[in-house]
Amino acid sequence: MPVNWDEFDNEVDSAIERGAQTTDDQLASRVSSLTRMTDEEIIELFPEPGDVKKLGDLMKIVKSAETQNTKINNIVNNAEQFGGVVLTLLTKFA
């Protein structure tokens, strides 16, 4: 039986989308458990999985046991990575 490559490609794309959505939902749920925001708010504010990951990285720094100065230095050293996340959060709360 010949392989229908178009159908195969569609099935692969569909599987990738389902996997990405599941990952997005899990990330949002994990981050929302650490904040006062709901899963839905996290997904709305950060629709890209990479942005949710950046938010998690930022929160890890903020919640760490490091000194205030160390936290600030870590955030400044990663300012480019965290810039969009900070802007999104400040826009929501401003």
- Pull the structure tokens for residue 76: 């400044």
Residue 76 reports pLDDT greater than 90:
yes
* Average pLDDT of the residues in 39-62: 86
Question: Could you read off the pLDDT of 1-36 as tens digits, one per residue?
Answer: 676 777 766 776 777 677 767 766 766 666 666 667
pTM: 0.62
Tell me which residue of 31, 22, 37, 39 sits closest to 57, measured CA to CA. Answer: 31
Can you give the residue ranges of every domain in the chain? 5-93
Tell me which residue of 17, 19, 41, 18 sits closest to 29, measured CA to CA. Answer: 41
- 56 or 17, greater pLDDT: 56
Q: What pLDDT is attached to residue 24?
A: 67
User: What stretches of 1-94 show up as alpha helix (H) in DSSP?
Assistant: 5-32, 39-45, 49-63, 68-77, 79-93
Distance CA(57)–CA(48), nearest Å, equals 15
